[in-house]
Amino acid sequence: MNLHQFRFVQEAVRRNLNLTETAKALYTSQPGISKAIIELEEELGLEIFERHGKRLRRVTEPGQLVLRAVEIIMREVANLQRIGEEYSKQEAGTLSIATTHTQARYFLPEPVAALRRKYPRVQVVLHQGTPRQVAQMLRDDVAEIGLATEALAEVDDLVTLPCYEWQHVIVVPAQHALAAVERPTLEQLAAEPLVSYHPTFTGRSRIDQAFARARLKPTFALEAIDADVIKTYVRVGMGVGIVAELAMRDDPPGGDLVARPVGHLFGSNVTRVAFKRGAYLRQFVLTFVESLSDRLTGSLIQRAMSGNPVHYDL
C-alpha cells in the first residue's frame, strides 16, 4: 500500500475510469497506473473496479468504501503540505479561489487586495466557472476555497458559510420608461425583453421561481454569465437587465444606466464561501475567509470545519 496507489485510484475515478487520461494527468506512464491499481487490489484482496474485458466499467461496492478512505487520506496529505507551507515559508504561499464572475469582478477585489496588503508574499489564483464547476474544483483540490451564490450549499463534502446577502436590481437606460418607476412589478418586467444571467448563475433561479409562481413567461433576449456583458447589451437597447446589486455599485447615480432594487420581486440571495470538509486552513486563508463577512469569526469557521452545523443570521 502506498500513496501513489491512492492518488492513481482517486484520479482514475475523477477521469471516469480512463487510465490513459489518468496517466496523462499525473505525468506518468499508463502501464504504471494499471499495475499500481492492480497491486493495491491484490493487497486488499478485493476489486476496486469492475472490469469488462480489459476496460474499467465501474466502481465496485467495496471500491466505494476504499474510495472514501482514499479521499480522506489524500485530503490529509494535502493538509500536510499546507502545514508545511504555513510553517516553512512563513506568511507566504498560494491561495486558489474558485468563484463565479460576479464574485471575482465585484466582490472579491476588495478582500483580495486586503489579503495582499496584509500578506504581500501570498499569491492568489482565481479560477472562474459556473457554481457547479466551483464545487467540483473544490472537490478536485483545484481550489482551496470557493465563493458562489448557487449550488455550494447542496454539496455534501463541502463546508459552507454564508458571506453576505444581496438582492437583484433591474437596469435600464436613463431614458427607458421603467427608469421612472420606483417599484416595478413582475408584470411590468414580463412585458419587456429581459437580459440577465444564465440559468445556473448568480441567483437566476430566484428570478425564474418568481415568474413561475406568478404564472408569467418572460422573454429573455440574452443570457450571460457576466453583468458587464449584460449592461453592455442593456445600453444598446436589447432590453431590461436584471443583475446583482453589487454589479451596479460602481455606476454613478447620474450615469447612462438607472438601477432599481427588485428584492420585493425576487427575494434575497445569500452568497456563500465553501471549502472541502476537513481541509487545513492556513492562517492567511483563515484571515481571508474572516474578512469576507463581519459575522465570520475564526472560531465559527473552526466549528464549521469540525463538522458541527453553524447557524447564524447575517
Query: Rule CB under 7 A: which of 70-89 touch DNA?
Result: none
3-state secondary structure of 60: coil
Decide which of a copy of itself, DNA, none touches 273; Cβ closer than 5 to 8 Å per partner kind: none
Minimum distance, C-beta of residue 223 to a copy of itself, in the bound complex (Å): 41
Contact with a copy of itself (CB under 8 A) among 57, 65, 191, 312? 65
Whole-number Å distance between alpha carbons of 235 and 166? 23
| 144 belongs to the binding site for a copy of itself (CB under 8 A) | no
Return the C-alpha cell found at 185.
412589478
Whole-number Å distance between alpha carbons of 86 and 119? 12
Exposure b/e, 162-185, CB count within 10 A at least 16 = b: bbbebbbbbbbbeebebeeeeebe
Query: Rule CB under 8 A: which of 230-289 touch a copy of itself?
Result: 280
Contact with DNA (CB under 7 A) among 6, 9, 34, 194? 34
The number of residues in the chain equals 314
Exposure b/e, 44-73, CB count within 10 A at least 16 = b: eeebbbeeeeeebeebbeebeebbeebbee
Query: Rule CB under 8 A: which of 70-109 touch a copy of itself?
Result: 70, 72-73, 76-77, 79-81, 83-89
Closest CA to 279 of 157, 175, 177, 171: 157
- Whichever of 50 and 251 has its CB closer to DNA, that residue is 50
Minimum distance, C-beta of residue 28 to DNA, in the bound complex (Å): 4
- Binding track, positions 51-70, relative to DNA; x by CB under 7 A: xxxxxx--------------
| 141 belongs to the binding site for a copy of itself (CB under 8 A) | no
Q: Could you tell me what percentage of the chain is helix, strand and coil, using 3-state DSSP and rounding each to the nearest 5?
A: 45, 25, 30
Whole-number Å distance between alpha carbons of 220 and 190? 9
Contact with DNA (CB under 7 A) among 14, 28, 257, 261? 28
Decide which of a copy of itself, DNA, none touches 38; Cβ closer than 5 to 8 Å per partner kind: DNA
* CB distance 196 to 243 below 8 Å: yes
| 2 belongs to the binding site for DNA (CB under 7 A) | yes
> What is the binding site for DNA (CB under 7 A)?
2, 4, 17-20, 28-32, 34-38, 51-56
> What is the binding site for a copy of itself (CB under 8 A)?
1-3, 43-46, 61-62, 65-66, 69-70, 72-73, 76-77, 79-81, 83-89, 280, 307
